[in-house]
Amino acid sequence: MVKIVYLALVILLVGAFLLTGCGNSATTTTPLKTTSTSAVVTTTVKPVTTTTASAPTPQYGGTLRLIDDRPPSAAIGWFAEPGPPAGSFLFPMFEGLARAQYDGTIKPLLASSWDLSADLSSATFHLQKNVKFHDGSDFNATVAKWNLDQYIEAHMPAVKDVSSVDVIDDSTIKINLIKYLYTLLYDV
C-alpha cells in the first residue's frame, strides 16, 4: 500500500514538472534560409530599453550600512571577530592600535607609539590625541581599555595572553601580559 502511495506521488510530481515546463512564453519563429537546407530558429522576444548614463555626483558623509548574515560565534558578537572576508571590509570602519604591513613592519594607527617592558610582561601604548569617533565622541584611554576588556571577556584568541588593561593617563594604556606573544602588536 505504501509503495502505491509513493508511486502516485512520484507520478503527480513528474506531471507537475511537465506542465510547469510547458508554460507560455513570448517566442517567435523565424525561418532561416541556407543554400542546401532550411532550419527554424526560435528566439525569445524581450523589449529593448536604452538609457543615457550620466556621471554620478560624489556624495560625502552619510551612513554606510553593512549587513553580515553570520551569527556570532562568541559572547561579544561579530564585532570582535572580523576575520576574512568581513575583516577586509571593516578596515575602513574599525581601526586597531597598530596594523601589520605586507612587508612585516608595524604601522601605528590609533596608537602613536608603544613600549615593551624589559621583561616583556607588559606593553604601554601612547594613543593618538584628538581622535574622534563618527558621532563626535572622543577616543581616549578609557575607551581603548573598554574595547580591549570586551575582547578579553569574550575570550578572543588574539588576547588570550592579556591579563588586564590599565589606564595610565588620558592618552596612555598599559596592557599586562600573562606571557609575551609576538603577535600582540598585530592583534590590538
> Looking at domain 98-187, what is its CATH homologous superfamily?
Dipeptide-binding Protein; Domain 1 (3.90.76.10)
Q: Is the pLDDT of residue 78 over 50?
A: no
pLDDT tens digits for range 95-113: 788 888 888 888 898 999 9
pTM above 0.85, yes or no: no
The yes-or-no verdict on residue 129 having pLDDT over 80 is yes
Low-confidence winner among 43-57, 89-103, 166-180 (lowest mean pLDDT): 43-57
Cell 594604556, residue? 173
* pLDDT tops 70 at residue 75: no
**Burial annotation 71-86 (CB, 10 A radius, 16+ → b, else e):** eeeeebebebbbeeee
Handedness of CA 88, 91, 111, 73 (dihedral sign): negative
From CA 165, how far away is CA 186, in angstroms rounded?
A: 17
User: With 0-12 CB in 10 A as exposed, 13-18 as middle and 19+ as buried, what is 107?
Assistant: exposed
Residue that the C-alpha cell 543554400 belongs to:
35
Residue-range domain boundaries for the chain: 98-187
**Torsion sign across C-alpha atoms 157, 152, 161, 119:** positive
